Amino acid sequence: MKMKKRAFLTGACLLVAGMMFVSCEKEEGSGTGGNEKAKILATVDMLPTSQVSYLLPIQDISASNPTFDEAQEIKTSNYIVPYKDWVFIVEGMSGGDVRKFSRNDNGTLTELGRINVGGASATVSHVCVISDTKAYATAMMDNKIVIFNPTTMQKTGEIDVAGKGYGINQNDTPNPMGMFLRDGVVFCGLGQFSQPPMAVDKGAYMLLINAETDQIIKMISDNRLTSATAIGESGMFLDEKNDLYIPCWGSYGFNPEHHSGLLRIKSGQTDFDPDYCFQLTGRELPEVQGGKLQYVMNYHYAGNGDVYFFGYCPAFASTPADFVNDKTNYSFKGNIYDCTANVLDLPRSNAYSCAINHYGDKVLFGVVSESNGVGLFAYDRKNGECSTSPVINIQGSILSLKIFD
Amino acid sequence: MGPMAHKVVNISMSPDKIMLGAVEVVGIGERKSIRDAKDQGVPVTVIDGKMLAGRGTTISEVLNHQTGVKLRQTGGVGSQTKINVRGLEGNRVQIYMDGYALNTPDGNFSINDIPLQFIDRIEIYKGIVPPEFGGDGLGSAINVVTISTDKDFYDFSYKYQSYGVHDAVATLRHFFPKANIAMTLYMNGIHALNNYTIESPFIEGLKIKRDHDRLRMLDFAVGLDFLNGYFDKAEVELLGYLNNKQMQGIETNIRHTFTHGQTYGANFNFEKKSFLTKKLDMKLNAGYLFINSGLVDTCSYITDFDGNVRPNTVRGEMGAIPNLSDDYTHDARYNLNLKYNLLPEGKMSINLNNDLRYVNMEMNDDEAGRSLGRNVSGLSSDIIGAITSLSFQNRWFGNKLTSVVTGRHYYFGMNGETVDLTYPGSGDTPVNTDRGGNYFGYSLALKYDITRQWALKGALEHNYRLPRSEELIGDRMTIMTNPLLEPEEAYNYNVGVLYDYYYHNESRLQFEANTYMMNVENMMYMISQFNYYKYQNLGKALLYGVDAEVKWDINRHWFVSCNATWQKSLDNTKYVLGTNTPSQTYRMQLPHIPILYFNWMVDYRKDNLFGGKGQYTRIYYEGGYTDKYYYGYELSKYQNYKIPSACIHTLGLEYGILNRKVIFGMECHNLFDTPEMTNFNYPLAGRTFTLKVRFTTLDW
């Protein structure tokens, strides 16, 4: 109905504009369409009243109230992997497809193709683009890495990781998840699930793959933290020294022995750095209600050692947990070198909305707050100020956020 | 006046036998039971079971052609079927059989398991439910009334349908006059492969032959009627129901998972007019069901649609944990209805209805427990629901105005053990959940006969849908408990107009139109996080719409009808859930609910169409059009997740011989093989043929 009204109004506007020979400008702040490619992309879940989510293009940070007119329908809990002007949508636990979109010059998106990756389990965890003609997609529950041509979206091969000894505790299934390409080597986190999201045992495990030969180089592990990378998001990042940081989600803290935080593989190395562990589960954090976090996810590195993340605080969880009304997630600013973290003065969010990225000096947090609004809140790195309301209003849970500077 | 005026003339007639070729009683009418159902102030559609006797279709398919009703199916015979009435479905629509709630706690027995030939009538209540129905619900209900006969009869039917569906029903009813007993034996067996081919909605170009969707079902009952005793009606029935259903995958290739269930029970029914006092009528129904059900999903590998096998992380092909469940349910219920007739002929009466239901559930699943790393088997829960209503019915202004005013009390109590599945939770230690609540509802229904042909109806109702056990306590595996769950609540309003005109002895024109509004609060949604699920009261909905129907008995051979429904189901939640931020979907159409649909029918019936005698022929055509509706909110220009519009045509023939003691039925559903979907991403079978043969000694 709304669409029909909108179409009618649009038609009426065009008619009037044509008669008056004046150009019709887009609605201020709508963030829809324009003369350049969308600089911000977000996946937005509308759960629980709708099982449809959206890939939402936003012109830039000035679009304070973007509409969903140009949004593309996707499944729930989908994630974005950008590569040049392509955008890959990874269906995570809700489907086995990787979908490819292009960012158009008029701010819209066009779907260019798709490939089914997780044929047996209907899950796909992540995409890592090696080149214009080669990409990896992790079929987490199929336990293989599908190699495909991202230009044609055709499968060209696969790396079977099942039954090769990479599963722990006599499991055949290491569950490949997030990936990162550094110096010709793809670092692939392993879930090692007993049942998602629980790992079968503590420890962070990764496969190292030669991106040229597609051969598995080796598996590495570290017992200090658990569950390297995450479903849908690699979360891994490089600092200015080419050191690779690997987030570990720690089975959402459901097992108290499974800790979350960051591990590191130094530049030129292929093993975890034994001297580095930024453990966040159980760490005493005086600004946090109850003093401790249950788990941490969705890290974003903004440079100069600054890392931003959400932390789940169990002190705000009802018994039993109320996923909608409990505002459990603090926004944090941390430092990867001195392993410190401070709560930012942003409203707490529920645990669904968890996307972070930065746009210039502004670090954007997807927040569903109780009384301050819903959308992207900003932390200004220049002056250290936090917005008290969304700088971009987006209704829904923002799962993934990509910025194209 | 003279004396001759008093002369008596005696005339006597001598008997004479003249054989008439045939006596034809012309004229159409309506059985009293159907007329009584329509005479209520509530909006109701009544389907005469006699029109269904030879058809090979199902109840739900019949319902699908009524105003305000839409079917939501996921597949073939035995698949999940939801009946959507005025935008509400699932537990929000109560299903009754002979006035008593049909829904079994595990959902094993469905409305489609009632054979069409034993249906006297189907009553579809839309928005407001009469007080003598004891169950809860948000105002819509379907009551299937089965036939009742006072003669011996034998009935056997066999149906074959496309895609490997075999369905046989045998019934025997015999009177033993010396013992004052009538005995009924009934058995129904279904074996259905449902092996139709669909195009995968997930992988372009992939055709999926549904080869793991088999249903095996056996349903049997023994009934004893004790005649000429204190009660006008005294029945005891023993029943059993066995089923085994494979699960068909569409997004993934499920090869081994299936469900099974067995249900046994007893049912007692007593009715007496002038019970204790002359003016009091009593109906009592009591029953007990024992249900054992299970889900078997333990496969150690998974398979894609090309047949490639992969090792399985979690075991099981569905969900995040394996299942080898062995659940037990004890369901005891009774319904007592007392009607005190203050004035004769139904002019004024008071009705007291008390409905009580107690359900005990014990869930066992060692396989799931092993996967979760905690012992969750053997925990049990009790849930009680009691609904009591008191209504006053009166006829005013020379019977022109009928009013029924009802007050209703709802009670539910729940006590059960569960484990908190999320960390830090309670580990293996069970947590006791004890919860109860009292709620009050009311309704008013009015019918005013303006003229002999025209009548007005008006009704309002405030009612509740009590939480079910699974919603409150969860399944201890992946569905979490929520002791704070409140009943769903609705305020319903309906205004309708009726026109009913008999003319030329054999023709009748009927018209009915209704408009309604429903305000639903505390709507329950299942939400998920960390692979755990939970029911929460989260939304409000505003439903409103108009429906209209015209039925025309042109003469005793031809009948035509058409109906139209336009219904809006709007999100009435002002703010984004859990916040005070105004919601962009406020007052937008709720996803996945049909909006506009039409149905039409042409029916021709004639005795001895091809000469001879004792023959009956019926040819019918039904059409239905459902406009497209969306799987999500209509927010984007590129809203492609939708249920496309579909126009489905059905053509059927019934041919009876030997005064309809033998009936042959043929039907083709979806004549033009139009792609059809009523649930997003669940394509239905397409063109389907049904052949049915029935032998019966029932009189018509």
The answer to whether A316 faces chain B, any CB pair under 8 Å, is: no
- How far apart CA A388 and CA B637 sit, in angstroms, is 32
ipTM of the complex model: 0.88
Per-residue pLDDT of A393-405, as tens digits, reads: 999 999 999 999 7
Place A32 in a pLDDT band, splitting at 50, 70 and 90.
Answer: low
Predicted pLDDT of residue B9: 57
How many CB atoms sit inside 10 A of residue B126's CB?
A: 31
Per-residue pLDDT of B322-338, as tens digits, reads: 999 999 999 999 999 99
Across A76-85, A127-136, B367-376, least confident range? B367-376
What percent of chain B clears pLDDT 90, i.e. is strictly above it?
65
Q: Would the pLDDT of A6 be above 50?
A: no
Q: Would the pLDDT of A325 be above 80?
A: yes
Indicate the DSSP class of residue B314.
S
- Sign, CA dihedral B121-B549-B460-B140, equals positive
What percent of chain B clears pLDDT 70, i.e. is strictly above it?
93
Place B207 in a pLDDT band, splitting at 50, 70 and 90.
Answer: very high
CB contact under 8 A, B373 and A194: yes
Q: In what order do the strands lie in the sheet with A306-312?
A: A295-303, A306-312, A329-335, A340-343
Across A60-69, A386-395, B126-135, least confident range? B126-135
Per-residue pLDDT of A204-234, as tens digits, reads: 999 999 999 999 999 999 999 999 998 888 7
The answer to whether A69 faces chain B, any CB pair under 8 Å, is: yes
CB contact under 8 A, B311 and A116: no
Backbone angles phi, psi at A3, to 5 degrees: -65, -40
Per-residue pLDDT of B379-389, as tens digits, reads: 888 989 999 99
CB contact under 8 A, A52 and B251: no
Residue B189 token pair: 């067996």
- How far apart CA B209 and CA B173 sit, in angstroms, is 42
Backbone angles phi, psi at B82, to 5 degrees: -110, 140
Q: Would the pLDDT of A21 be above 50?
A: no
Across A6-15, A57-66, A188-197, B99-108, least confident range? A6-15
Nearest to A143 among B311, B421, B573 (CB): B311
| Secondary-structure percent of chain B, ordered helix, strand, coil, rounded to 5 | 5, 55, 40
Shortest CA distance from B474: residue in chain A: A320
Shortest CA distance from B313: residue in chain A: A173
Residue A257 token pair: 């022995």
Distance, first Cα to last Cα, chain B:
55
The answer to whether A12 faces chain B, any CB pair under 8 Å, is: no
The DSSP bridge pattern shows strands B327-343 and B280-297 to be antiparallel
Predicted pLDDT of residue B249: 94
Ramachandran sector of residue A350 (left: φ over 0; alpha: ψ -120 to 50; beta: rest): beta
CB contact under 8 A, B577 and A48: yes
CB contact under 8 A, A195 and B371: yes
Shortest CA distance from B315: residue in chain A: A195
Mean pLDDT of chain B: 89
The answer to whether A124 faces chain B, any CB pair under 8 Å, is: no
Q: Are A263 and A280 in contact (CB under 8 A)?
A: no
Please give the average per-residue pLDDT across B364-385, as a whole number: 86
Q: Would the pLDDT of A120 be above 70?
A: yes
Q: Are A80 and A93 in contact (CB under 8 A)?
A: no
Predicted pLDDT of residue B425: 59
Place B11 in a pLDDT band, splitting at 50, 70 and 90.
Answer: low
Predicted pLDDT of residue B379: 85
Residue B29 CB burial class (10 angstroms; 0-12, 13-18, ≥19): exposed
The answer to whether B323 faces chain A, any CB pair under 8 Å, is: no
Please give the average per-residue pLDDT across B240-255, as a whole number: 95
Predicted pLDDT of residue B319: 81
Chain A residues in contact with B313 (beta carbon < 8 A): 141, 143, 171, 173, 175, 193-196
Helix (H) or strand (E) holding B328, with range, is: strand B327-343
The answer to whether A196 faces chain B, any CB pair under 8 Å, is: yes
Per-residue pLDDT of A374-390, as tens digits, reads: 999 999 999 999 999 99
CA–CA distance from B33 to each of B271, B318, B422, B537, B555 (Å)?
17, 47, 54, 40, 23
Predicted pLDDT of residue B596: 98
Predicted pLDDT of residue B27: 45
Shortest CA distance from B307: residue in chain A: A120
Chain A residues in contact with B422 (beta carbon < 8 A): 254, 320-321
CATH of domain B27-696: 2.40.170.20
Q: Would the pLDDT of B232 be above 70?
A: yes
| Nearest of A342, A322, A188 to residue A265 by alpha carbon | A188
Predicted pLDDT of residue B405: 95
The DSSP bridge pattern shows strands B488-503 and A185-190 to be unpaired
Please give the average per-residue pLDDT across A74-86, as a whole number: 94
Q: Would the pLDDT of A7 be above 80?
A: no
Chain A residues in contact with B577 (beta carbon < 8 A): 48-49, 324-325
Per-residue pLDDT of B479-536, as tens digits, reads: 888 888 899 999 999 999 999 999 988 899 999 999 999 999 999 988 877 677 889 9
Q: Would the pLDDT of A28 be above 60?
A: no
Q: Would the pLDDT of B570 be above 70?
A: yes
Domain borders along chain B are 27-696
Predicted pLDDT of residue A33: 66
Predicted pLDDT of residue A356: 96
Q: Most distant CA pair in chain A: distance in Å?
A: 75
| Nearest of B97, B88, B101 to residue B387 by alpha carbon | B101
Nearest to B635 among A54, A95, A327 (CB): A54
Predicted pLDDT of residue A331: 96
Chain B residues in contact with A51 (beta carbon < 8 A): 591-592, 631-632
SS3 call for B215: strand
Predicted pLDDT of residue B103: 59
**Closest Cα of chain A to B682: distance in Å?**
15
CB contact under 8 A, B304 and A119: yes
The answer to whether A194 faces chain B, any CB pair under 8 Å, is: yes
Domain borders along chain A are 36-160
Indicate the DSSP class of residue B589.
B
The answer to whether B635 faces chain A, any CB pair under 8 Å, is: yes
Per-residue pLDDT of A230-257, as tens digits, reads: 888 879 999 999 999 999 999 888 888 9
Q: Would the pLDDT of A16 be above 60?
A: no
A36-160 belongs to CATH 2.130.10.10: yes
